[in-house]
Each structure stands twice: as C-alpha cells, then as structure tokens.
Amino acid sequence: MAKNRNAKNSRATKDASRMERARARARGAKAVIASGTLLVFGVAFIGAKMHAPGHAKGTTKPLDAPKSFKRAVKRSIAQGGHIEPAVQPPPIATSTS
C-alpha cells in the first residue's frame, strides 16, 4: 500500500509541475502576444499621424473663380445686352382619344 501511495503522490507532483510549466508557457505566450499587439498598434498610430493630418498645415488661399471664367464675364459685360434663358425643346403634347 505504501508503494501505491508514493506512486500516487509522485504522479500528483509530476502532474502539478507539468501544470505549472504549462501555465508559465501560457503566461509567456500572452505577454509576447500583448507586446506584439501594442507594437503594431503603436506603429500604425504614428504612421497615421504622420501621413494623414487632420488639418491643413500650410496657409489657406481664398476660393476664387478661374481666370478664364472672369475674362468671359468681363467680355460679356463689355458687350452689353441681356441674358436670355436657355432654349428648351417644346413641350410634348399628347392627345386623349
């Protein structure tokens, strides 16, 4: 009987030590995964800040019409006259029978 108890105690000790080693490996793997995740997100965050600014960093210029449009308007004003509406096709009339 004494041998049987010692064998059980020995097996229980081996199982406990195996579990502790497995838990230690799991803790190490979790630490590696967590640090890798932080590294990837940190690099992505810095890259996004560098390449996609949220606002214009230079001076702004006022919106303005193109020069060709301004010239055309000045020419038409110099010619005088009035502006007519655009020509539209005649309305389609349908008859009922």
Determine, yes or no, domain membership for 38. yes
Task: Dump pLDDT digits (tens) for 69-86.
Answer: 888 888 877 666 666 777
In a domain, 91, yes or no: no
Q: How confident is the model at residue 93 (pLDDT cuts 50, 70, 90)?
A: confident
Is residue 16 in some structural domain?
yes
The residue range of the domain holding 15 is 1-54
Q: How many domains does the chain have?
A: 1
Q: Would 19 be classed as within a structural domain?
A: yes
Tell me the CA distances in angstroms from 63 to 60, 72, 73, one per residue in order. 9, 18, 17
Q: Does residue 70 belong to any structural domain of this protein?
A: no
* 64, part of any domain: no
Residue 23 belongs to a domain: yes
**What pLDDT does residue 24 have?**
95
Q: For residues 85 and 78, what is the distance between their CA atoms, to the nearest angstrom?
A: 19
Give the pLDDT confidence of 10-69 residue by residue, as tens digits.
Answer: 676 777 788 999 999 999 999 999 999 999 999 999 888 887 766 666 677 778 889 998
Does 67 map to a domain? Answer: no
